[in-house]
């Protein structure tokens, strides 16, 4: 089902979005889809989209799944896989996930909607070339975008990648054994899409920790000085 809202469908139970935060283990995450990202291109919103992930709002996410649909307010548990070991994912092929990760890194960083469209359709093309080709030749003809997407996808597939190159990329695949809800009821279609999430590098987390530690010490010293002056 495709429409002006595209792969991420708006308007379902938005009021209940932020209240859903089920518990999750180290290899799972609670997901609530909250935003559709940029303007639709050829009838489909392109990423990044936004979600509340384990209670963290406005987390950018990128869809690698063209066949399924997702809905604003859709909540579920996702299994987390590494890009280097995409077990339990919707798709297969280590090089496919390498290529998708390389394109996703670019999509996370671009500020151009035109570039985002090319990268997003290239990601979709890698796992569903038939669906993307049909969409951009029959449903919403756009030969220029199709050619650009195919070029980017082929280039990413042909590239050589190193171990750990995308250590910050994680794959969030819906756990079909857990409830999938839109508000308090079922969603129009299932399953949700598979998403790519960019996690902070270990060095970034370490620096953030040092920063918070320094702020804490400064705050305590300032509080102690103010107490002494009273």
Residues 1-38 have pLDDT tens digits of 343 344 555 544 333 333 333 444 459 999 999 999 77
11 touches 36 (CB < 8 A) = no
29 touches 78 (CB < 8 A) = yes
Q: Say how far apart CA 213 and CA 130 lie, in whole Å.
A: 52
Rg, C-alpha atoms of the chain = 20
What's residue 87's pLDDT? Answer: 81
Helices (H), the chain: 94-109, 113-127, 129-134, 143-158, 202-229
Q: What is the mean pLDDT of the chain?
A: 82
pLDDT digits (tens, 9 = 90+) for 165-202: 999 999 999 999 999 999 989 999 999 999 999 987 54
Bridge partners of 76, per DSSP, are 31
The answer to the question of residue 180 being in a domain is: yes
Query: What's the average model confidence in pLDDT over 96-106?
Result: 97
The answer to the question of residue 224 being in a domain is: no
Helices (H), 161-201: none
Q: Which of 47-51, 80-84, 108-112, 188-192 has the lowest mean pLDDT?
A: 80-84
Count structural domains, the chain. Answer: 1
The answer to the question of residue 48 being in a domain is: yes
The answer to the question of residue 222 being in a domain is: no
- What domain range is 133 assigned to? 8-199
The answer to the question of residue 183 being in a domain is: yes
Structure pTM?
A: 0.80
The answer to the question of residue 141 being in a domain is: yes
* Cis peptide bond upstream of 17, omega within 30: no
Q: How far is the first Cα of the chain from the last one, in angstroms, to the nearest whole number? A: 67
The answer to the question of residue 211 being in a domain is: no
What's residue 202's pLDDT? Answer: 42
146 touches 120 (CB < 8 A) = no
What's residue 223's pLDDT? Answer: 32
The answer to the question of residue 207 being in a domain is: no
Bridge partners of 85, per DSSP, are 82
């Amino acid at each position: 089902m495709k429409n002006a809202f595209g792969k991420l469908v708006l308007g379902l139970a938005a009021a209940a979005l932020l209240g859903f935060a089920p518990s999750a283990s180290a290899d799972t995450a609670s997901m609530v889809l909250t935003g559709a990202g940029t303007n639709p291109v050829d009838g489909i919103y392109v990423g990044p989209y936004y979600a509340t992930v384990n209670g963290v709002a406005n987390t950018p996410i990128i869809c690698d799944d063209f066949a399924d649909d997702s809905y604003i307010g859709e909540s579920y548990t996702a299994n987390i896989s590494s890009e280097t070991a995409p077990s339990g994912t919707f798709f297969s092929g280590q090089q496919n996930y390498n290529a998708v990760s390389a394109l996703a890194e670019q999509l996370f960083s671009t500020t151009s909607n035109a570039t985002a469209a090319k990268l997003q359709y290239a990601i979709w093309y890698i796992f569903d070339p038939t669906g993307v080709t049909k969409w951009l030749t029959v449903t919403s003809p756009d030969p220029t975008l199709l050619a650009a997407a195919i070029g980017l996808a082929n280039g990413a597939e042909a590239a050589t990648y190193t171990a750990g190159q995308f250590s910050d990329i994680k794959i969030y695949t819906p756990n079909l054994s857990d409830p999938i809800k839109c508000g308090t009821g079922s969603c129009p279609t299932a399953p949700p899409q598979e998403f790519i999430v960019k996690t902070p590098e270990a060095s970034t987390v370490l620096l953030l920790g040092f920063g918070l530690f320094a702020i804490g010490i400064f705050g305590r010293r300032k509080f102690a000085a103010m107490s002494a002056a009273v």
